[in-house]
Structure 1
Amino acid sequence: MKVTTASVAAMAAGAIAAPSNTTPREATKAQAACASAVSLDAKSNVFSKYTLHANTFFKSEVAKAVEAITDSSLKTSASKVGDVGSFLWLDSIANIAKFDDAVADVPCENILGLVIYDLPGRDCAAKASNGELKYNELPRYKSEYIDPIVAKIKANPNTAFALLIEPDSLPNLVTNADLSTCQESKTAYEEGVAYAFKSLNLPNVVMYVDAGHGGWLGWDANLKPGAEELSKVYKAAGSPSQVRGYATNIAGWNSWDEEPGEFSDASDAKYNSCQNEKTYVTKFSAALSTAGFPNHAIVDTGRNAVTGLREEWGDWCNVNGAGFGVRPTATTGLELADAFIWGKPGGESDGTSDEGATRYDSYCGKPDAYKPSPEAGEWNQAYFEMLLKNAKPAF
């Protein structure tokens, strides 16, 4: 396995599967936003004050899953999953419509997590979660995607928002520069993320940009260029005040603090000192500080309860045997890590295992991937039940 170029990152890339178009149940409007406008201090950890909101869309998916379970004890456990705070994916222009129902029941003590995820040429190193916009459609990204989201957030000044900006994007530019698809997308990625930073720099918003994980930008040779890439885009946007830092392990499987580390005995382990996400956050934050980028992190623990399942770092698709991990909390034990969050909605597929499908990615057919699995974002009932049974801590 190479340590700095496409073979490492191509495996790591593509881990992000766009959630489905689930229609929510009627939002509970009894709960209210704050009585006055929210102003978030991005120099502090907002998750120490606000609780990540359990959004209506994941609640709806879980409620349907519960109805399909026949085991009474499992049914009881499953019903609790929908109450876990998680991020809502605005993964297409059409799905911006999810915003209105999601914001309707956010109480003042909660923060609504939104994933901004629709760059032109999205996921340039993978097939399973390619987006709707072509690499040369940056004007559409700005006017039809980012601008409407900005308008909706401005229309809800009394609600707090945590935004996770464009999973997989900038890490792909660091390690997959030899792929023509990523070369084509480079301008749109950098200008698009900068536009998102600048446009979404609103008082009631805190932003974190995706930075892969320890098995991706955590390789020793990738830490410095990874930090410089994030900083380059941040500075191009005018160093927006509401950017707090970065996100790691989104839709990922890496342990927070396993020692000596899941792949510590691999032949190339000497090239990667970031054998868990805690080490990665520590080392990457130091590199970011040097590069001039805000260096606090949020870490996805939604599906990382079980380790030792993957053959390689980059095996990203529907890992078999996985379990729900630690629930969202600001108690991480590391000052640089603002919170553990649930980024990927557990139960939604990372990609199809159907080799004949147009968006089939070979990583979804690997021996350590769960089969059968539907298209990216579609619900997989059996996988959800597996995550539940393997959850640590248990529900």
Structure 2
Amino acid sequence: MKVTQTTAALFAAGATAAPSAKIQSRAACSSAVTLDATTNVWDSYTLHPNSFYRAEVTAAVANLSDASLSTAAAKVADVGSFLWLDSIANIAKFDDAVADLPCENILGLVIYDLPGRDCAAKASNGELAATDIAKYKTSYIDPIVAKIKANPNSAFALLIEPDSLPNLVTNSDLATCQAAASAYETGVAYALTNLNLPNVVMYVDAGHGGWLGWDANLAPGAAELAKVYKAAGSPAQVRGFATNIAGWNSFDQTPGEFSGTSDAQYNSCQNEKTYISKFSAALSSAGFPTHAITDTGRNAVTGLRLEWGDWCNVNGAGFGVRPTSDTGDELTDAFVWGKPGGESDGTSDTTATRYDSFCGKDDAYKPSPEAGAWNQPYFEMLLKNANPAF
């Protein structure tokens, strides 16, 4: 998955790292969990280092090309990250992930299987056709709802459908996005309505400052999120929005990475902190909750991209600030690791069906496998360039 607009900003530079999260020996809470979405739940819960990413990192440690990295690499497994339920089959990952979830941790889940998914790119096109809204509801959302209901003593943070609503705002000229528009809005509303459970907090994806942060996109972007939120009945467990998911933008670098470009005058959101401030104001006017989480998983290095919109396996990237609620910004609930570092954004194989030209650009790492597949050399690069270091 990744954005398809010539707009994406930087990495979180200069922030202070929180200690990496360690799995505790305790299991689920002894009673039902109720999350108050009017508050910042990240002040009370630690993002869970889920078992799937832990296994990927453990395997990566065993396969290191540079043995001197092993101690640092092993520490990555203890960092909380979101688990991507990006297909009907991958819903099965839920069970193992929740099995070792201690009461003080919150399990981050990415809800990501809309009909006609990723309508403006090829690398992460989904399994459902744009007409498969009924299947999305009954075979994807409903089983996730059932699993969460079966685990009332555990806490869940849900990131709702990356790239979907932003694509409707900025890529409405594409036939693929036009065909998917109805399913996107209907599907996201259905997800918000049915996942509105007491032990859940939800954030709707809002791209990043280089996407909806353009001055002309702020109000339309806010209107689109608010439209779907209201269609869902304004669910109480929606806390706000997510930014920079699987992205590269800095949280607070000033001046911004692309502030010197000829079109910078049209985008005042040169970092994610400014974007959150400005987009929150637009959302408030539109009637949508105004708090955010921001992905800092791979944004430790700036100045790597040729353009804001270059989103695929950026070469020279590094692991960024560990998940924490200590963001220094009232509107930003937490820094999170949304994209598991080491999993590819898309293949660089030009003959592949899902090859996207962004994955062949000069600033994209090559070779890279299909989206979601593990890329060992890229993981090692992220580790070497991590800031703060492991």
The TM-score, its normalising length taken from structure 2, stands at 0.94
Provide the residue aligned with 1:381 in structure 2: 376
Q: Secondary structure at the match of 1:259?
A: coil
Matched, 1:293 2:288: yes
| Among candidates 124, 129, 134, match of residue 134 of structure 1 | 129
Q: Does the Cα contact within 8 Å between 1:11 and 1:363 map onto a contact in 2? A: no
Partners of 2:65 and 2:270 lie apart in 1 by 39
In the TM superposition, residue 73 of structure 1 has moved relative to its aligned partner by 2.6
Provide the residue aligned with 1:49 in structure 2: 44
In the TM superposition, residue 70 of structure 1 has moved relative to its aligned partner by 4.5
CA offsets, 1:4-30, max 9 Å, x none? Answer: xxxx944459xxxxxxxxxxxxxx995
CA offsets, 1:223-275, max 9 Å, x none? Answer: 00000000000000000000000000000000000001000000000000000
Provide the residue aligned with 1:246 in structure 2: 241
Amino acid in the other structure paired with 1:36: S
Matched, 1:222 2:205: no
Q: Secondary structure at the match of 2:107?
A: strand
Which stretches of structure 1, 4 residues or longer, exceed 4 Å deviation after superposition?
none
Provide the residue aligned with 2:56 in structure 1: 61
Task: Give the percent of matched residue pairs that are identical in Structure 1 and Structure 2.
Answer: 78
- Aligned residue runs from structure 1 range 169-208, under 5 A: 169-208=164-203
Provide the residue aligned with 1:118 in structure 2: 113
| Among candidates 341, 345, 349, match of residue 346 of structure 1 | 341
Q: Secondary structure at the match of 2:97?
A: helix
- Aligned residue runs from structure 1 range 1-395, under 5 A: 9-11=4-6, 31-395=26-390
Q: How many residue pairs align between the two structures?
A: 374
**Higher RCO (Cα < 8 Å, 6 or more apart):** 2
Partners of 2:119 and 2:58 lie apart in 1 by 34
Q: Secondary structure at the match of 2:77?
A: helix
Q: Secondary structure at the match of 1:83?
A: coil
The TM-score, its normalising length taken from structure 1, stands at 0.93
Q: Secondary structure at the match of 2:156?
A: strand
Q: Secondary structure at the match of 1:373?
A: coil
Partners of 1:306 and 1:122 lie apart in 2 by 29
Structure 1 pair 10/261, CA: closer, same or farther in 2 (3 Å)?
A: closer
Structure 1 pair 338/160, CA: closer, same or farther in 2 (3 Å)?
A: same
Q: Secondary structure at the match of 2:371?
A: coil
Partners of 1:59 and 1:143 lie apart in 2 by 30
Q: Secondary structure at the match of 1:108?
A: coil
Amino acid in the other structure paired with 2:379: F
Amino acid in the other structure paired with 2:269: C
Partners of 2:176 and 2:370 lie apart in 1 by 22
In the TM superposition, residue 69 of structure 1 has moved relative to its aligned partner by 1.3
CA offsets, 1:152-186, max 9 Å, x none? Answer: 00000000000000000000000000000000000
Partners of 1:31 and 1:135 lie apart in 2 by 43
In the TM superposition, residue 207 of structure 1 has moved relative to its aligned partner by 0.1
CA offsets, 1:343-389, max 9 Å, x none? Answer: 00000100001111110000000000000101111110000000000
In the TM superposition, residue 71 of structure 1 has moved relative to its aligned partner by 3.0
Amino acid in the other structure paired with 1:137: D
Return 5+ residue gaps in structure 1 as ranges.
1-7, 14-27
Amino acid in the other structure paired with 1:358: T
Q: Does the Cα contact within 8 Å between 2:7 and 2:307 map onto a contact in 1? A: no
Partners of 1:37 and 1:31 lie apart in 2 by 15
Q: Does the Cα contact within 8 Å between 1:29 and 1:104 map onto a contact in 2? A: no
Q: Does the Cα contact within 8 Å between 1:171 and 1:217 map onto a contact in 2? A: yes
Partners of 2:7 and 2:280 lie apart in 1 by 20
Q: Does the Cα contact within 8 Å between 2:6 and 2:210 map onto a contact in 1? A: no
In the TM superposition, residue 72 of structure 1 has moved relative to its aligned partner by 3.4
